[in-house]
Structure 1
Amino acid sequence: MPQISEKGQHLPASPIRKLTPFADKAKQDGKKVYHLNIGQPDIATPEGMLNAVKNIDFNIWAYTASEGTLAYRKKLTEYYNKHGYNITPDDILVTTGGSEAIVIAMMTCLDAGDEVIIPEPFYANYNAFAGQGDIVVKPILSVIENDFALPKASEFEKVITPKSRAIFICSPNNPTGHLYTREELEELKALCIKHDLFLLCDEAYREFCYDGRQFTSPMHLDGLDEHVIMIDTVSKRYSACGARLGCLITKNKQVWQAALKFAQARLSPGMVEQIAGEAAIDTPDSYFEAVSKEYTARRDTLVSALNKIDGVYCPTPGGAFYVVTKLPIDNADRFCQWLLEDFTYQNQTLMLAPATGFYSTPGAGLNEVRLAYVINQDDLKKAMVCLDEALKVYPGRVVNAARVAAHVE
């Protein structure tokens, strides 16, 4: 029998989706499952975006340019320049979702065996994307006790080697919700210039910043034009995850030209998605203001409820719509599966994402889970009651973090 590749064998399963069969079985058994595992917003997609799709009028569903249609790139330029990016349509490469933008950025900037430094916990698929290209992920640990703030430059210096080619960040962060400050980004700027590194930045959650906090992009910093590759998507901003439309933006023309070759190899992004994307740019500010207000309320409801549960700690995130919380449990993977297989409270349970899958360091995140506050506040409250009841009866409950460490050993 032919054998699958080493990559296929060792590519990690998604911590966000790997428990889906257990959730499906729970639903078949009649349980109500509160989905806090995945960042699928329940916010309505902007009407203008949907109407653009409904009103499409063409006779041939044709290829588009590999870099994306000029019409869409012009509209994107309007959006980004409104936010101070100072770009042109020629700086943009339209991609099939933010995921493809990440893959193309990695393939453009790193060879097999090269190293990318990523503060952890980080979006789990970064590991998968790096694995596809035999790229080595060098994690830098950020900790819940410090609200997952960016580690100091001295920590980065410890892992930079001659094989280091890039630093990769996500702000506001998935999975922690941490919003990087300008001061943190200035430290990264100094590192990138000193060691001649690329800075890849995933800005999927740019519009989700709370409590009056200001979003800063590495593209806002002077002197980094040749280093920065920015990655974005319509998935979260417009609650359009199924559109699979993203982009890669850089002012480094050598990077852009090389990235275009990867884009040409996959032919083109979708025509329909770009038509919808054009319309999305005209979404009024009132839409985002209402969404931000709703997510702020959900965040406050969730964080407050979590911190009232005995043995639980959750920092208050500054952006995105996720939290990583510490639970009094022995093993997050085991606990999340147990919730779906063995636990029920008033015929209800919940689906969480084990935080272990958001770390590259073995053993990290063993007593942490990620929750996405993408369901309404009433359901969030009910889900937290379920979590409280579950922790009271979970067989692997621990009294303190020392016992968790002992379990790892």
Structure 2
Amino acid sequence: MPSISQKGRSMPESPIRKLVPFAEHALKKGIKVIHLNIGQPDIKTPKIAMDAVRDHDLEILAYGRSEGSETYREKISQYYHKHQLQIRAEDIIVSTGGSEALSFAIGSITDTDDEIIVPEPFYANYNGFATAAGAIVVPVVSQIDNNFALPPIEEFEKLISPKTKAILICNPGNPTGYLYSKEEIKKLADIVKKHDIFLISDEVYREFTYDGKEHRSILQEPGMDEYGIIVDSVSKRYSMCGARIGYLVSKNKEVVKASLKFAQARLSPPTFAQMAAEAALDTPNSYFNAVNREYESRRNILLDELHKIDGIKWGRPQGAFYCIVELPIADADDFARWLLQDYNLNGETVMVAPAAGFYATEGLGKNQIRIAYVLEKESLKRAVHILNEALKEYKKLF
């Protein structure tokens, strides 16, 4: 019998999506599942984006340019100019989601067994992208006790080897909601310049920051033109997850040239989704102001409700819409399955994302979950109440 590749065996499964069959089974039993597990916003997509697709006059849905349409890249450039980033259209490669942009970045800068240092916990698919490229994720641990702040720069220094090609961060962070300070970004910029490696920054949540804090991009740091690679996406910014449009941004011409070859290999990004994404760039600031206020309010409600649960610990999100919560149990995977298979409160249960899949270090995060606070407020309150009652029952049983 033919066998699959070692790469296929090593490819990690999604800690978020692996529980879907259990949720589907719960639904078949008539149990309502409240989803705390996935970052699918319930905010409406801007009407201007939907209208762009609805009102098109195309007669042939043809291939587009591999790097994305010129008009779209020009408008992305203008978007960055508003954020004090001097990005040109030729610095941008449009991708099928931010995921593909990250894959292009890793493929362009690593060879087999090259290493990328990533503060953990991190977006789980970073492991998958690295595995697909034959690269190795080298984790540096950030701690819940100091809110997942940047680990000491000395910890990065210890891990840098001749195989190290990049440091990869998510800012604001998924799954932690941590927002790196200007000082932390400067430290990262200094270390990559010192060691002549890249700094990749996943900035898809850059619009969502709270408590009066501001996002600091890596390309705002002086001297980062040759070292910086930004990954961005429309998915969360405009509540357009299904559009699957993202982009890679770099002022390093060799990175863009290599990424374009990867883009050519998959032909072109989707045309209708680019039309929607281009139109979305005309969304007024009032939309973002309202969405930001809503997420900050939901964050506050989540933390207020978590205060009511005994024996737990959490990081305080400063951006994005995720929160890591440490539970007084041994195995969050088992607890998440039990919630869907065996527990309900008045016909309802909750689906959470076990956090071990957001770590590369074996054994870390086993008693943690990630909560996505993308639900309207009453559903969020009810979900945390169910979680509280479920924990009481689970601890009695196990």
Decide: shared fold, TM above 0.5. yes
The alpha-carbon deviation at position 308 of structure 1 amounts to 1.9
> Which ranges in structure 1 are unaligned for 5 or more consecutive residues?
399-409
- CA distance in structure 1 between the aligned counterparts of 2:381 and 2:111, rounded to whole angstroms: 47
| Counterpart secondary structure, 2:65 | coil
- CA distance in structure 2 between the aligned counterparts of 1:329 and 1:379, rounded to whole angstroms: 24
Partner of 1:406: none
Q: Deviations over 1:223-277 (max 9, x none)?
A: 1110001000000000000000000000000111111111111111111111111
1:95 maps to a residue whose letter is S
- CA distance in structure 1 between the aligned counterparts of 2:373 and 2:397, rounded to whole angstroms: 24
Partner of 1:45: 45
The alpha-carbon deviation at position 395 of structure 1 amounts to 4.2
Partner of 2:321: 321
Partner of 2:18: 18
| Counterpart secondary structure, 2:18 | coil
2:97 maps to a residue whose letter is G
Asked if residue 274 in structure 1 is aligned to residue 251 in structure 2, the reply is no
- CA distance in structure 1 between the aligned counterparts of 2:396 and 2:74, rounded to whole angstroms: 55
- CA distance in structure 2 between the aligned counterparts of 1:171 and 1:210, rounded to whole angstroms: 13
RMSD: 1.0
Asked if residue 80 in structure 1 is aligned to residue 63 in structure 2, the reply is no
Instruction: Within 5 Å, give how 1:362-373 maps onto structure 2.
Output: 362-373=362-373
Instruction: Within 5 Å, give how 1:17-36 maps onto structure 2.
Output: 17-36=17-36
- CA distance in structure 2 between the aligned counterparts of 1:184 and 1:307, rounded to whole angstroms: 29
| Counterpart secondary structure, 2:177 | coil
Tell me: CA distance 1:303–1:394, structure 2 relative to 1, closer, same or farther (3 Å).
Answer: same
The alpha-carbon deviation at position 315 of structure 1 amounts to 2.4
- CA distance in structure 2 between the aligned counterparts of 1:129 and 1:269, rounded to whole angstroms: 19
> Which ranges in structure 2 are unaligned for 5 or more consecutive residues?
none
Partner of 1:93: 93
Partner of 1:292: 292
Task: Check conservation: 1:331, 1:396, Cα contact below 8 A.
Answer: no
1:122 maps to a residue whose letter is F
The alpha-carbon deviation at position 396 of structure 1 amounts to 7.8
Task: Check conservation: 1:204, 1:236, Cα contact below 8 A.
Answer: yes
| Counterpart secondary structure, 1:394 | helix
Q: TM-score, normalised by structure 1?
A: 0.96
2:191 maps to a residue whose letter is L
Q: Give the share of equivalent positions with the same residue, in percent.
A: 54
Deviating runs (4+, > 2 A) in structure 1? 395-398
Partner of 1:160: 160
- CA distance in structure 1 between the aligned counterparts of 2:304 and 2:118, rounded to whole angstroms: 30
- CA distance in structure 1 between the aligned counterparts of 2:383 and 2:394, rounded to whole angstroms: 16
Asked if residue 189 in structure 1 is aligned to residue 189 in structure 2, the reply is yes
| Counterpart secondary structure, 2:168 | strand
Tell me: CA distance 1:10–1:396, structure 2 relative to 1, closer, same or farther (3 Å).
Answer: farther
- CA distance in structure 2 between the aligned counterparts of 1:239 and 1:40, rounded to whole angstroms: 8
| Counterpart secondary structure, 1:325 | strand
- CA distance in structure 2 between the aligned counterparts of 1:397 and 1:368, rounded to whole angstroms: 19
- CA distance in structure 2 between the aligned counterparts of 1:32 and 1:312, rounded to whole angstroms: 25
Q: TM-score, normalised by structure 2?
A: 0.99
Q: Deviations over 1:174-219 (max 9, x none)?
A: 0000000010011101110111010011011010001110110001
